[in-house]
Amino acid sequence: MYSHIKKQDKEVFGAIAGEDKRQREGLELIPSENYVSAAVKEAMASSLTNKYSEGYPGRRYYGGQQFTDAIEMVAIERAKKLFGAKYANVQPLGGANANIAMYFALLQPGDTVLGMDLSHGGHLTHGHPVTYLTKIYTFVHYQMKNVETGEIDYEAMRRTAKKVKPKIVLAGFSAYPRELDYTKFVAIAREVGAIAVMDIAHIAGLIAGKAVRNPFDDGFDIMTTTTHKALRGPRGGLILVRESEELAKKIDKAVFPGLQGGPHMHQIAAKAVAFGEALKPSFKKYAKQILKNTKAMEKVFKKHGARMIAGGSDNHLILLDVSESFQISGAEAEALLDRAGMTLNKNVIADDTRKPMDPSGIRFGTPAVTTRGFKEKDCAQVAELMIEVLTKRNDATVEKARRAIKKLALTHPIPESFP
């Protein structure tokens, strides 16, 4: 592998080789990351990166599309099957692009979106003031009613919806560990004449693997997602429409030419390959194991009396209040655990009293380690090591944990393919 780049460009080769080693020997606990198969990587590295394919299959602006059309059609068909959608747009370059295109498709400037509060788990693209989206649209947010159980305040959400008349009722999150009551979102959206959209970026793999509910089964109209998180595909975005042809047409126009130029066909080929993998029965086992592994970690933190936001987890991620549990900041915890070979991220927690760059929490999850074949006992061991490092914080403890983590990593190599 890399024989050409190694010969031609020592600088870039060195960094890629370093990253490969980092991934091999460390543990990836960032809940939005994963390890793709060699087949997905091959598609990403293919000649398709040379091709311009503006437009959609059968309706392109350039010639030479016999193979790109076939690839995009396969990706679309597999995405539809995977998520029970009637329409799919596989061209968004990432999750943020998918959301921006979705807004472009459904909103006029000045329109209102009702989404999850950022500090309660929502994503930047759900209306954080640092995004340009907030210059165009109005974002109003709902929150958890009870931070210790994770229950959303659906009553307040309904009252707000009736007052602000949103065009979109937006569900979805990057840092929320419970399952939402989808029927309530849909009921509120219907009541105020809004479109119900779920951004499933974090849990698309769990939905595809049928380990959690599919929001389409409860009547959501549209789902946006990334393809590179628990879904274990290449970096990219995807928009799914449950059944409305009218909405699907608007989405297609918004993605291209509304927002993007030429689609990244190498990435679309890799999405098709990853969707093919996710359609296999073994992916269902993978998705269920992610949940079991998170539960195993939750159990350890509970035993030690550590404070988890929402009291634990029903999905792939845990939000730990390290400020209260270990009298340490999120940034300090992130740095300490990084030294011990556990990669995760600091994260704001609901009603955080600390600053966003050094918040009170850390966020971590199990999709990547589950891909490596980790089972409950391995994840429990990781949680014990985390607690030991966060409690003792001395060099000897960090070094001991680093060795244990490296051993766990090396005995669970990143797989090249999935059964």
Ligand X SMILES: *Cc1c(COP(=O)(O)O)cnc(C)c1O
Q: Which is nearer to ligand X, 123 or 250 (CB)?
A: 123
d(CA 312, CA 300): 11
Q: Is 52 a catalytic residue?
A: yes
Q: Is 229 a catalytic residue?
A: yes
Q: List the catalytic residue out of 199, 252, 321, 334.
A: 199
Q: Which is nearer to ligand X, 32 or 366 (CB)?
A: 32
Sole window of 48-56, 197-205, 331-339, 358-366 interacting with ligand X (rule: CB under 6 A): 197-205
3-state secondary structure of 189: helix
The answer to whether 408 touches 382, Cβ cutoff 8 Å, is yes
Q: Which is nearer to ligand X, 84 or 94 (CB)?
A: 94
Q: According to the binding rule CB under 6 A, does residue 174 interact with ligand X?
A: yes
Distances (CA, A) of 172 to 4, 85, 199: 42, 18, 5
Distance of CA 240 to the CA centre of its chain: 15
Of 123, 89, 8, nearest to 263 by C-alpha is: 89
What angle is formed at CA 193 by the lines to CA 190 and CA 198, rounded to 5 degrees? 60
Residue of 28, 72, 117, 199 that binds ligand X (CB under 6 A): 199
Q: Which is nearer to ligand X, 161 or 230 (CB)?
A: 230
Could you tell me the smallest distance in angstroms from the CB atom of residue 124 to ligand X?
8
Residue of 85, 88, 201, 204 that binds ligand X (CB under 6 A): 201
Residue of 172, 312, 330, 361 that binds ligand X (CB under 6 A): 172
Q: According to the binding rule CB under 6 A, does residue 272 interact with ligand X?
A: no
Q: Is 226 a catalytic residue?
A: yes
- In order, the DSSP letters of 138-176 are EEEEE-EEETTTTEE-HHHHHHHHHHH--SEEEEE-SS-
Q: According to the binding rule CB under 6 A, does residue 205 interact with ligand X?
A: no
Q: Which is nearer to ligand X, 290 or 398 (CB)?
A: 290
**73: its two tokens:** 């059609």
Q: Please enumerate in sequence order all residues whose Cβ is within 8 A of that of 312, keeping only pairs 6 or more positions apart, or say none.
A: 177, 298, 302, 318
Q: List the catalytic residue out of 160, 226, 294, 343.
A: 226
Q: List the catalytic residue out of 54, 69, 151, 352.
A: 54
d(CA 317, CA 59): 41
Residue of 91, 125, 313, 315 that binds ligand X (CB under 6 A): 125
Q: List the catalytic residue out of 235, 253, 285, 292.
A: 235
Q: Would you give the end-to-end CA distance of the chain in angstroms?
A: 23
Q: Please enumerate in sequence order all residues whose Cβ is within 8 A of that of 63, keeping only pairs 6 or more positions apart, or say none.
A: none
Distances (CA, A) of 215 to 62, 100, 222, 276, 402: 37, 20, 9, 21, 40
Site for ligand X in 63-122 (CB under 6 A): 94-96, 99
Site for ligand X in 335-374 (CB under 6 A): none
Q: Which is nearer to ligand X, 139 or 326 (CB)?
A: 139
Could you tell me the smallest distance in angstroms from the CB atom of residue 401 to ligand X?
28
C-beta neighbour count of 352 within 10 angstroms? 16
Residue of 60, 202, 346, 372 that binds ligand X (CB under 6 A): 202
Q: Is 154 a catalytic residue?
A: no
Catalytic residues: 52, 54, 199, 226, 229, 235
| Sites of contact with ligand X (CB under 6 A) | 32, 94-96, 99, 123, 125, 172-174, 199, 201-202, 226
